[in-house]
Structure 1
Amino acid sequence: MTITSSEPLARPARVRRTVWHVFLWLLILPAVAWVLIRITGAERGLLVQLFAFTPYIAAASVVPLILALATRRWLAASVAAVTVALFALTVLPRAFTDGDRGPQTGVTVTVMTQNMLFGNADAEQIVGYVRDNDVAVLALQEFSPNAATRLEQAGLGTLLPYSTLGAEPGASGSGFYSRFPITDPGVRRNGAGLFNQAYGTVQPPGAGAIVIESAHPAAPYAVSALDDWKSDLAAEPRADKNGPPRILLGDFNSTLDHKPLRDLINGGYRDAADATGQGLIGTWGPYDGAPIPPVTIDHVLVDKRLGVGAVSVHTTRDSDHRAVIASVVIPAA
C-alpha cells in the first residue's frame, strides 16, 4: 500500500499566506502610526518634512484596505478601514466648502500672495493677476530690489499705488502693496533672522481698518532648522479681539498637517482655501525640477471677524510657488 501526504503541497501554500499576511500588515501599520501622529500633532525630526505629504499618504491608505477586503483578512481590513476613516476626517474637509465662512455682508476686498523665488517670478504675469482679479492687496515674499523695479515697470504702481517694502537680494525680502493708503507701515525680521515680513494697516472705503502682514516664517528644510521654524510660527501675530481684524498671508512653509500652523490658525483665524474647499490644491513644488509632489504651504489666514469668499490658485512663471488669490469680506464701518 502506498501512502501519500499533502503536507509537501500544503507547506508552500501556508508560506505564501504567511508572507502575504506580513506584507499586508507592513502596509497598514505605517499608515496607522502616521494618522495617529497627525491627530496628536506629535510630528518630530524628519517627520516634519514628510508630514507635508499627508494627503498623499491618506489616499494611499485605501490600497491596503482594498487588498485586505479582497483577500478576506478581516482583522487587517478592520484596522485599515479605521485608518482610512481617520485620514478622511483630517484631510477631506479641505476639499469641501466650510459652512462657517464668516460674515458675508460688507465690503469685499481681494487679496493675493506670491513667493517670487529670489525675486525672479514673472512680474508682468503677477501684475496681470492683480489687474484681472481686481486685487486690492498684494503680499510678496522672496522680494528683491530687482523684482520691485520689474513690477514697477509692469505697471503695478498704477494699480496699487501704496506700498511697504523690505526688498533684499536673495530670499529674505518682503513686500506689501495696496490700493488703499497704508498707516502704521513697517518691516520686521523674523526671530530666526532669515526673512522679512512687511505689514501695515489699510481701511477700504466703507469698511473698518484691517492689519495686513506678508508672512514668511523659516522653513523646516533640515532637522537643525526645526526650532527656528517652530519659533517663527509661534511668533506670528494672533488675531487680537481688542484690535483691528488681521489678514496674515504668505508662504508659511507649513501645511495644515503641521501642528504649529494649526495652532496659529486656532489663534483666531480661518484658512481661506480650507474654508472654501480649495485646501488640497498644491501651491509649492516641484522644486528645481525635482520629482516632489505639490504641497500646500502658501495660505491666506483671515481673522474670524472677517468673511471668506472665493479662493483661486494660479501658476506663476519663474517661481516654484503659485499665487493664492482670495476674496475677503470686511464688515461695514
Structure 2
Amino acid sequence: MRRTSERLAGRGAVFKIAYLFAVLLGWALLGAVIAAIWLHFYPGKGRVSTAFASAVPWLLLAGVPAIIILAVTRRWLTTALTVVLLGVGIWTQAPLFIAADAPSGERVVIVQSNIRLGEADVAELVGQVRAAKAHLLTVEELTPQALERIEKTDLRSLLPYEFVVPGDGGVGTGIFSRYPLRKMAELNDFGLNNLRAEVDLPGAANTTVFAVHPIPPYPYEPWRWVEEMKRLRAITHATATDRVIVSGDFNSTWDHKQFRDLLTDGFADATEQSGAGWKMTYPTDRSYPPVIGIDHVISRGFTAVELNSFEIADADHRGLVVSLVPD
C-alpha cells in the first residue's frame, strides 16, 4: 500500500508540473498574440520593433494553440480573452483577404521584381513580362551588368521605353514601359535609387509611375528607414496627376504602420484590393519558403483586380504581377 501511495503521489506531482507547464505555455502564446496586435499599431522606430512587426501574421497564429491549451487546462477567463484578442488580430489582417468590387475596363499589368544585386536570371524575368503581357516593369537592385544582360533579351520588343539608373550593389532601379515615358526624374534624399515618370496607359492617360526602394531598417539605422518612408509618402501624395502607381520593394509589410500610412488620400494596396491574402515575397534564397511580404504595388485612381507572385532563379525576392483597372 505504501508503494502504491508513493506512486500515486509521484504521478500527482508529475501531473501538477505538466499542468503548470501547459498553463505557462498557453499564457506565453497569448502574450505572442498581444504583442502582434501591439506591433501592428505601434509606429516602431527601433530595430527590434520593426523586425518583429514583420512577423505579426506568424505571431497571431500562436492564438490557435493558446486557445486549445488554455481550454484543456480549464483557464476559462484567459481562454475567452484569447478568443477575443485573436479576433482583433484577425480583424487587422482581414482587409488582405476581402477583395474590392472589380470595375470593368481594360487591365493595366505591372510586373515588379527585386533581382538581388543584379544576380537574378533576367531571361526568366523577361519571360514573366512576356507571359503577363505587361505594360510596365519595375526593377530594383539593377546593376550595370544586369542591365547589359537585359538588353540582350527581347525586352526591347515588349517594353521599348525605359528610365533606368543602374548602380552597384542594391542601388540601381529601373522602369520599363510599353509606352513612351516623360518627365522622368530621380527622387532626392534617398539612399537607393527611387524613380518617377509619367506615361499614358490604356484608359489612364497622364499616370505617374514610381519605382521605389526605400532602405531597409536593417542593416541601415532604422530611423533612416522611418524618414524615407515619410518622405516617400509626402512625394507620392503630392503627385499632381490623378492616377498614380507606386511599385517596388518597400522594405516594409502590411503590419508596419509606416507602410499603411501610405494608404490614405485615395491610395490603396493591390494585395488588399485584390483580396490576395498574405503574399510572402522574401526571402527566397533560403531552405524555407519566404516569410514576409515587402514587395508591393499601391495606386491611386486604379483598382487592383488580380495579384500573383512568381519566383526567378538567383533572386531573393518573389516578383509580383498585378492587374489594375482604371477607376
SS in structure 1 at match of 2:100: coil
Q: CA deviation at 1:258?
A: 0.3
State the TM-score, normalized to the length of structure 1: 0.88
Q: Say which of 279, 303, 317 aligns to 1:281.
A: 279
Q: How many residues align?
A: 321
Partner in structure 2 of residue 324 of structure 1: 320
Q: Do structure 1's residue 184 and structure 2's residue 190 form an aligned pair?
A: no
Partner in structure 2 of residue 129 of structure 1: 128
Q: CA deviation at 1:226?
A: 0.6
Cα separation, 1, equivalents of 2:11 and 2:92: 44
Q: Which runs of 5+ in 2 are unaligned?
A: none
Partner in structure 2 of residue 148 of structure 1: 147
Moved more, 263-272 or 7-16: 7-16
State the TM-score, normalized to the length of structure 2: 0.89
Cα separation, 2, equivalents of 1:43 and 1:174: 26
Cα separation, 1, equivalents of 2:254 and 2:283: 16
Q: Which amino acid aligns with 1:203?
A: D
Partner in structure 2 of residue 78 of structure 1: 80
Structure 1 pair 33–308 and aligned structure 2 pair: CA distance change class (3 A) = closer
Cα separation, 2, equivalents of 1:260 and 1:208: 29
Q: Do structure 1's residue 315 and structure 2's residue 314 form an aligned pair?
A: no
Cα separation, 2, equivalents of 1:10 and 1:138: 66
Q: CA deviation at 1:30?
A: 3.4
Partner in structure 1 of residue 107 of structure 2: 108
Contact 1:118 1:143 in 2 (8 A): yes
Partner in structure 2 of residue 66 of structure 1: 68
Q: Say which of 238, 241, 244 aligns to 1:243.
A: 241
Partner in structure 2 of residue 173 of structure 1: 172
* 1:53-79, Cα deviation, whole Å (9 max, x unpaired): 111111222111111112221012012
Cα separation, 1, equivalents of 2:253 and 2:264: 14
RMSD: 2.5
* 1:137-182, Cα deviation, whole Å (9 max, x unpaired): 1111001111111111111111111111101121100100101011
Q: Which amino acid aligns with 1:318?
A: D
Q: Which runs of 5+ in 1 are unaligned?
A: none
* 1:223-245, Cα deviation, whole Å (9 max, x unpaired): x6111111111111333485331
Contact 1:117 1:319 in 2 (8 A): yes
Partner in structure 1 of residue 195 of structure 2: 198
SS in structure 1 at match of 2:94: helix
* 1:105-157, Cα deviation, whole Å (9 max, x unpaired): 44421111110111111111111111111101111100111111111111111
Structure 1 pair 120–24 and aligned structure 2 pair: CA distance change class (3 A) = same
SS in structure 1 at match of 2:107: strand
Partner in structure 2 of residue 231 of structure 1: 227
Q: Which amino acid aligns with 1:140?
A: V
SS in structure 1 at match of 2:245: strand
Structure 1 pair 58–49 and aligned structure 2 pair: CA distance change class (3 A) = same
* 1:244-283 map, 5 Å: 244-283=242-281
Q: Which amino acid aligns with 2:61?
A: A
Contact 2:54 2:256 in 1 (8 A): yes
Contact 1:183 1:202 in 2 (8 A): yes
